[in-house]
Structure 1
């Protein structure tokens, strides 16, 4: 989230986002008017917003071009990109509208070189006697991947604790990788248990040390979701003027992420700190 705030402050626009799952970070970028194209599987804030508010509005108003895939398909697309393969096969999507309905039509794909010529292709399995159909999904190689992790070293070695989702595949598929981290540790510390590390230093271009860098979302073993802030955001995001005020107060008016965290307040941040036994905060404290 810290890097997303900086992108908004610098007004880096006309973005083409490719995401496995997007929530608050994606919604802020879309709401700030910085995203032109979006390829995604999931865009929501869980039970607080089954569809992210600014994202939904942009799609409904036609100001955002979007292509949707299943979560598994997006993971395979990143995996194909990481492998250097042009595509990978799957059964995911067979019989669904994900295959039949395209957000980017053929004409748009023809004139837009950064996206694949086709969303997906269904073929018969050439190795099977039963002529089973399979779906081919295209590889994707982002220019830049941004991830937030628990620990990283100055040399770029990165450790994700807990579920990695598609972060590793996406990072390995990308031309450049920027990592923000809760703890900046020495390379020697990460070498003690090298099998726990997620990304090697050779693929990471930059490391940003930013505690609470995923707020108001969660970081396993460090802090939980800020439900109070997210609930307030859901109401604010539904109104254009209030959303602009939110950006001005929390993002544009805060010249660094630490200033944003001061607006949240130490007392609230302390409530979010994870229990060592649970990995998340106790619900009675949130």
Structure 2
């Protein structure tokens, strides 16, 4: 009896040892595990198709099939995990490379924009320097130019200021006009200025610029003379009394003989001294100034 028990125990140990060996074998021989697992799988598929229950049971109970399938499944999971890790690292690397490429592209674009901006700023600075130099030359040239020639430049420029020449024209035109008004008063004193205005303000050949300047020159000349009379009463008295005599002559002139007296009263002297007389509260030439 004891020898039978011993024999049975040894048999169990042998089977267990063989199972452990089969697992260890397949773990050491992965290709064999794959082939055995595939072989067992094919047999199971065939048994299922044939509806062979005994065959299915036999395969299910086959320890080699079990160990091969388990080892192969574990290996497949490891391979899948490794592939996933490789793919993850690949995607991560690609993402990092994309970020680097994008950053490099942005940096390149930034440098290109900065370079373009610097180029434009340099060109703009050079353009401004050239424009300013041309503008200053134009100012000097136009300042020295006769007003008759300057007025032609004004006409050519119109309202334009884009060129250095036209900008200079608009910048100095007021000072040129003021200077020309003073010049006209010197060239055409007193009644000659009125005659000059007549030549510029009448007819088809009207010169609007000089017509305007002559009108302003007459006003300035009259205003300056009035101020002179206000500050110099003796001169005012002398010129006023001369015009008073003309007025008396007009009142005594016979019919048809008044024109010389009327014309005399319309001269620069009598016209301006009459305006100055108002500053002294004198309103006509009826009485002399004592």
Q: Write 1 or 2 for the structure with the bigger share of strand.
A: 1
Normalising by structure 1, we get a TM-score of 0.17
Normalising by structure 2, we get a TM-score of 0.17
Q: Write 1 or 2 for the structure with the bigger share of helix.
A: 2
Instruction: Report the structure number with the largest CA radius of gyration.
Output: 2
Higher relative contact order (CA 8 A, sep 6+): 1
